[in-house]
Homo-oligomer: A and B are copies of this chain.
Amino acid sequence: MARITIEDVANEAGVSITTVSHVFSGHRPVNAETKQMVEQVAKRLGYRPNAIARSLRLRTSQTIMIVVPDITNSFYPEYARSIQDVIGPAGFHSLLCNTDAREREELAFLEEARSRRLNGVVFVGFRVEPEALRPLADDGICVVNVGGPVPGSTIDSVCFDDRAASAEMTHFVIDRYGSDVALIDGDAEAPVSRHRREGFEDACREAGVPDREMVVLLEEFDRAGGARGMRALLDREVRPRAVVCANDMIAIGAIDVAREEGLRIPEDVAITGFDDVDLATVVTPQLTTVHADGPRLGAEAGRLLLSRMTGEHDGEGRHVVVPHELVVRASA
């Protein structure tokens, strides 16, 4: 129960703690016999180096924090896994943190990252401005924002061109089904939703839909939100011919109620998603959606972060846009 320390090992082995330290770190040559002996003693005693003490001394925890809004949306686990795949081999650990898209949690995790002297943070913010990341960068924490750049900082950023993608999808839908189209968006404030909404509006305007006739609903980025939105849409006097959804989960929810109501998809209503998560090919009909490559996004973010943490890159923040792709399947 009383933890074995490096000192216990040193005493037992009859050497100094310095020697023990070095047999573990390899930072300086140690006599082969001594080394072996120390290793044996350590094993016998069940010694485990105290990572906390080491972190304190080294002033680095070799760990990063991955902040996501909803771990329940499979887009994020895949994305997170991909980050881990790139930073893990370099010897970094990671904390996966779920904010539920709440401002308080977002801020709390950011503070937490400072407290724990983390080496890096990859942040998907829904409530908090990217500006909130500046203090971290000032503390020397490497950060990449998933979203827009933070000018004049060392903060890197990665994103999809959500606005363009959403506009493309909307154009596609209008071409096929006419301008009687609605959007079920995911969230009033989150940057993603704003961008996807703007893209939708861009396309509508270009198609000559007057502003006042644009149908935009704000729900939540999940299946229940999609269901609510679809119900609201079906209650209207004129039902939309096509429904663009701000992500796949919403689209699934929309499909749920469309089918409940006996509507055929896409014959009666066309429905599109966004993200192209696994679910998209599980629903019937398979979702027409925007393929937003989560793993790719994560890998990109991981690479940026890693190059900064290793010191390979410093200076002004870089910005990379990950390409998306329209995937036309059966739902529209």
- A residues adjacent to B (C-beta < 8 A): 1, 3, 46, 48-53, 55-56, 61, 71-72, 74, 77-78, 80-81, 84, 93, 95-96, 98, 111-112, 114-117, 135, 138-140, 223, 252, 278-279, 282-284
> Which of B49, B53, B140 is within 8 Å of A1, CB to CB?
B140
Question: Per a CB cutoff under 8 Å, which of B49, B98, B138 touches A81?
Answer: B98
**Whole-angstrom CA separation of A71 from B282 in the bound complex:** 19
- How far apart sit A77 and B282, CA to CA, in the bound complex (Å)? 19
Selected A-B contacts with CB under 8 Å, 19 pairs: A1-B139, A3-B117, A3-B139, A46-B135, A48-B115, A49-B115, A51-B115, A71-B77, A71-B80, A71-B81, A72-B74, A74-B74, A81-B98, A95-B95, A279-B279, A279-B282, A282-B282, A282-B283, A283-B283
When distances are taken between beta carbons in the complex, the residues of chain B under 8 Å from A138 are: 1, 46
| Alpha-carbon gap, A56 to B279, bound state (A) | 45
Q: Which residues of B contact A46 (CB under 8 A)?
A: 135, 138
Copies of this subunit? 2
Closest chain B CB from A96 CB (angstroms):
4
B1 and A50 contacting across the interface, CB-CB below 8 Å? no
Q: Give every chain B residue within 8 A of A56 (Cβ-Cβ).
A: 50, 52-53, 56
Residues B77 and A72 in contact, CB atoms below 8 Å apart? yes
Q: Which residues of B contact A80 (CB under 8 A)?
A: 71
Within the assembled complex, what's the spacing in Å between the Cα atoms of A93 and B98? 11
**A279 to chain B: which residues have CB within 8 Å?**
278-279, 282
- The answer to whether B98 and A51 touch across the interface, beta carbons within 8 angstroms, is no
Chain B residue contacts of A278, Cβ below 8 A: 223, 279
Find the B residue at minimum CB distance from A58.
B52
A60 nearest CB neighbor, chain B only = B52
Q: How far is the CA of A278 from the CA of B98 in the complex (A)?
A: 19
Q: Considering only CB atoms, which chain B residue lies closest to A1 in the complex?
A: B140
By the criterion CB–CB under 8 Å, are B115 and A50 in contact? yes
Docked CA distance A98–B117 (Å)? 23
CB A134 to nearest CB in B, in angstroms, measures 11
In the complex, the answer to whether B93 meets A96 with C-beta atoms within 8 Å is no
Contact of A50 among B53, B111, B117 (CB under 8 A): B117
A50 to B223, CA, bound (A): 40
Given contacts A77-B71, A81-B72, is CB(A252)–CB(B282) below 8 Å?
Answer: yes
Chain B residues with CB under 8 Å of A84's CB are 98
Complex: how many Å from CA A252 to CA B278? 11
Question: Closest CB of chain B to A94's CB: distance in Å?
Answer: 8
Q: Is the CB of B81 within 8 A of A93?
A: no
Q: Contact at A111–B48, with CB atoms within 8 Å?
A: yes
**Which residue in chain B gives the minimum CB-CB distance to A223?**
B278
Residues of B within 8 A of A93 (CB): 95, 112
